[in-house]
Chains A and B, each alone.
Chain A
């Protein structure tokens, strides 16, 4: 178990150090905006806000409402591409 957790830690460290994490983040964000996911989510946010009232909305409210839906709404193509990139990175840098 510790081997595994050690390996995970190493990988994560490498991801961050080499800037791959940032790159992946940017890639994901642009892909999501392109495919309209962001607008969809914003529309959902509007509903939530109208529900909760403009003045009393908190970050927690939004997070709780948005995250599960967001995770589900990511298009398959985007998901596939990202998984591919991560796998490639791992294949390259995992010992």
Chain B
């Protein structure tokens, strides 16, 4: 559209031109009047001066219009070229990379722990076993492999425990133990076993025949299993678990038999034979003890020997049919 146009020519057209200007003036006046009404209403309603405050604040927040500076007066690329010294590693890092670097450097923050645990896991998998273990695939005593758990949250669990475990292992036994294995109870004396069992879970794994070196509260094994192992290794008058109920102290002579028997059953067979709840298993154990006190006395009284494992198996096997008969009777 051409903005530059000539006024209408001709004698008539002067009048037209005058008309045009008149129309224009009318429009402009209309606009002015509109503004006046708007302002007057704002004044009378009290919202005209709302955007103003005292003189001091006005000066403070005045719009800045200088080159190299934004409207607040701040230099916007001031920190672009600055370098900061990391307090941890004493390196000079660019300002924009400083925060992520600090996260990794200090070992805090989500990603750094993930990366670290992943690195530890890959180190475990790739390094050969350091000790004189029989099987290489028995590197882990907790019935699951580290490789499979690489991507799961279990990784955090294992890495939390493994430094402590290797430390305690090296401290307690003179033997060289691989990084994350259990202990073979057969090679330990009773005192060592006792001291081990006061701090560690100690439940003997089925296929590796090693004691679990995790904490007393390790979720892999139940308290029943831990109690069974302690009784098994240290005799029926074994020192109790820290988490054991006081009711166990009041058990009579017969009851421990039933309990160990029950626990042995739990240990060897699938856990669905015995109830998992400790209270009900106690009563069940009492029942079993009362019924079977005659048959299995001699087995439990026998001293600790290597042959014991196989004997236990046999005794477990022998009593299993009788147990199942009791089940029938109960039903």
Contact = CB atoms under 8 A, between A and B. Distances in A.
A6 interface: no
B5 interface: yes
A87 B29 contact: no
A84 B29 contact: no
Given A83-B21, A84-B3, A71 B28 contact: yes
B1 interface: yes
A4 interface: yes
A70 B2 CA distance: 26
Interface in A1-58: 4, 7-8, 11-12, 15, 21, 24-25, 28-29, 32, 38, 41-42, 45-46, 49, 54, 57-58
B31 to A, nearest CB: 6
Interface string B33-57: 1111101100100001100000000
A55 B319 CA distance: 105
- With most chain A CB atoms within 10 A of its CB, the pick from B29, B39, B49 is B39
A95 B8 CA distance: 14
Given A4-B15, A70-B28, A86 B40 contact: no
Contact of B19 (A11, A57, A67): A11
B29 to A, nearest CB: 6
B108 interface: no
Contacts of B27: 21, 24-25, 28, 82
A87 to B, nearest CB: 5
B40 A62 contact: yes
A28 B23 CA distance: 12
A46 B21 CA distance: 30
B32 interface: yes
A57 B40 contact: yes
B20 interface: yes
A11 to B, nearest CB: 7
Interface residues of A, number: 41
B25 to A, nearest CB: 8
A18 B48 CA distance: 36
Contacts of A67: 29, 32-33, 36
B31 A66 contact: no
Interface string B62-77: 0000000000000000
B43 A49 contact: yes
A12 B19 CA distance: 10
Given A24-B27, A62-B40, A80 B32 contact: no
Contact of A66 (B5, B7, B19, B36): B36
Given A45-B39, A57-B43, A87-B5, 16 more contacts: A25-B31, A28-B28, A38-B35, A42-B39, A45-B36, A49-B39, A54-B43, A54-B49, A59-B36, A59-B40, A67-B36, A71-B28, A74-B28, A82-B24, A83-B21, A90-B20
